[in-house]
Amino acid sequence: MTFTIGLLVFPGVQQLDLTGPYEMFASIPGATVHLVWKDLAPVRSATGLMLIPTITLADCPDLDVFCIPGGGGVNALLQDTEVLDFIRVKAAGARYVTSVCTGALVLGAAGLLRGKRATTHWNAVDFLKDFGAIHVNARVVEDGTLITAGGVTSGIDFGLTIAARLIGQNAAEVIQLSLEYAPEPPFNSGTPDVASPDVLAKARASMAGSRAERERLMAGFAQSLATD
């Protein structure tokens, strides 16, 4: 059996949002994984890693799995009609429509989260309601064919979830073992619930600029949703 999987790659993408699930997807027997963007020029991630698209929006085939990663570059996508139209078209024919981290907000901007259970990065969960979504506090949330993952590293859990849906749990566990995915973080600060107040405050401060711009954009979405 073969599978065609596409991940949107864009300027300012959080590279681990993309490369975490990419590693899982690329390990699925029979999978072809595309990095999709407007053109094939190298794209600089939020942390400076250069990523090379493999196919353009115009040439992208129908997809079994369509994934939108997150990152600071998401803000620009929220008002990019070309990208949002592309997402709507590809989502209509995909077996699974998915996101990692703040990529969920892009799905929301495309109108794909209304009435759906979903998750995103902890610093953006309050925006989900602006798109009519129902937030679920979990690493991976499934609502029918819509699958969303929380912040950054949850994309690895999500990638294995997709693998299990496509080729079965046993085969997905083989991928997990082959990649030795058995996380034991050195610190217990991975979520706001367990991080110290000092660490939480510093993390919020580091993301304040991107969030302020996102709040401005979300105000417009909330208003349009209320008038629909």
Residue 101 falls in the annotated catalytic set: yes
Residue 46 DSSP one-character state = T
Residue 203's pLDDT is 95
Q: Please pick, among 101, 125, 128, 175, the residue that the annotation labels catalytic.
A: 101
Model pTM above 0.85: yes
Residue 69's pLDDT is 98
Per-10-residue mean pLDDT, the chain, length 228 = 97 98 98 98 98 98 98 96 98 98 98 97 96 97 98 97 98 98 96 95 94 87 61
Longest Cα–Cα distance of the chain, Å, equals 50
- Map residue 146 onto helix, strand or coil: strand
Residue 228's pLDDT is 58
* Cβ atoms of residues 32 and 167 within 8 Å: no
**3-186 belongs to which CATH class?**
alpha beta
* Cβ atoms of residues 28 and 166 within 8 Å: yes
Q: Are strands 43-44 and 50-51 parallel, antiparallel or unpaired?
A: antiparallel
In the chain, where are the structural domains located? 3-186
